[in-house]
Amino acid sequence: MTLFRRAIVAELSSNAGAVFTVLFSILFSVGLVRILGEAAGGRVDNQAVFSLVALTALTWLPPLLTLTLFIAVLITLTRAFRDSEMVVWFAVGRSLLDWIRPVLRFAAPVLLLVAVLSLAVTPWAQRQIVESRERFAQRDDVSRVAPGRFIESAAAERVFFVESVDLEAGRVRNVFVSHRSQGREAVIVAAEGVIEVRPDGERFVVLSQGRRYEGTPGQAQYRLVEFERYAIRIEPRAVAPLQQVKARAKTTRDLLEQRAPYDQAELMWRIAVPLMALLLTLLAVPLAWTNPRLGRSANLLVAVAVFFCYLTGVQLIQAYVQTQRIDFGTALWLPHAAVAAAIVALFVRRVYLQRWLPRWPSAAAGTTTA
């Protein structure tokens, strides 16, 4: 029996590794494309793209590992049913309940990892993402300019385009600036410019060898001015501390000490993820029963539907906590109690009952008489 349990754990580990690799590759690719798009639009720092992708991937790991456990256990037991190994298992007097121990033995380290990620690592990653984005938002206009891209200024009044930027030397080349103020629009083009810092601390971009077109949109009267030197004041962001840390970026200890609805909803979610992983792992055991005539993918489709229904239910309860439509204590156990009841019912059905409803006495008597 020990050898058989080791074989079960080995097969579960192999299936889990394959499932996790596929799911993580898909999500990582989607996240990379999204963040690259934000970097191209000037919403995040180009130099922080890969760190943001890595941090975002950390925030995805708890639900991803939960789904991996669920599918791995389901695939393994479904194969045992399909290949008639479960017939032998039942013939030697073993029950479906005897699968719980080897399954939990395999899942225990992953469940512990999910709990650590959900309660500690994910909040840290969220905090790093928030701080990175806000540091970039507080940079001055020229520092946020990326060569070859149109970038909007901090005050949303200017659009910059430069062909090349040398921040160390404080020089930009082939500059285009569109500026709108008090209903008038000005377009400035210049061959190059240099960043100058005045004694009072104000910063200017001093353009040279350029032209300025100024007028009112919709009217034909525009003024053209050629210049050899033209200074544009950089609009710095006010030096201020980062915004108040959002609930998703707060530590679990901070959430325990605060009673705001959003904080309680986030705390409920962090506790819910490890519980979801445990209950879905147990649910996969009775759910793996399959009829070979239904094909190989029938149970997998049911598993995906069950996972997303469970996940959606927890997120719905979280939204109710945020809007104070349900209290924290009830939200903490309600969805998991429903799933636990379903697990017990399925085990009772597969282990102790042949049918959900007993046969009618008359029908049983008729069968005996025949």
Q: How far is CA 303 from the centre of its chain?
A: 21
Helix (H, G, I), strand (E, B) or coil at 251: coil
Rounded to two decimals, the pTM is 0.71
Q: What is the pLDDT of residue 210?
A: 87
pLDDT of residue 115: 95
**Mean pLDDT rounded to a whole number for the chain:** 79
If you search the block for the tokens 């990326």, which residue do you land on?
Answer: 146
Question: Which position has the token pair 């919403």?
Answer: 43
Give the integer Cα–Cα distance in Å for 211 and 84. 82
* pLDDT (0 to 100) of residue 171: 75
Q: What is the pLDDT of residue 364?
A: 43
pLDDT class of 363 with cuts at 50, 70, 90: very low
Tell the burial category of 107 from Cβ atoms under 10 Å away from its Cβ (0-12, 13-18, 19+). buried
Alpha carbon distances (Å) from 179 to 155, 171, 213, 237, 264:
11, 20, 10, 18, 45
| Dist CA 36 CA 41 (whole Å) | 9
- pLDDT tens by residue, 221-240: 778 888 888 887 765 544 43
Check whether 130 has a pLDDT greater than 60. yes
**For 8-40, what is each residue's pLDDT tens digit?**
888 888 999 999 999 999 988 988 888 888 777
* pLDDT confidence of residue 267: 93
Per-residue pLDDT of 79-119, as tens digits, reads 887 777 776 676 666 777 888 888 998 999 999 999 999 99
What φ, ψ does residue 151 adopt, rounded to 5°?
A: -125, 130
Task: Check pLDDT > 80 for residue 2.
Answer: no
Cα(312)–Cα(335) distance, integer angstroms: 10
So what's the pLDDT on residue 238?
A: 43
What is the average pLDDT across 267-287?
A: 93
User: Interhelix angle for 49-82 vs 298-322, to 10°?
Assistant: 130
pLDDT of res. 79: 83
pLDDT at 41 over 70: no
User: What would the pLDDT profile of 289-330 be if each residue is shown by its tens digit?
Assistant: 765 555 556 677 888 888 999 999 999 999 999 898 999 989
Domain boundaries, the chain: 2-137+244-356, 142-233
pLDDT band at 219 (very low <50, low <70, confident <90, very high): confident
CA dist 277 and 71 (Å) reads 11
pLDDT at residue 174 greater than cutoff 70: yes
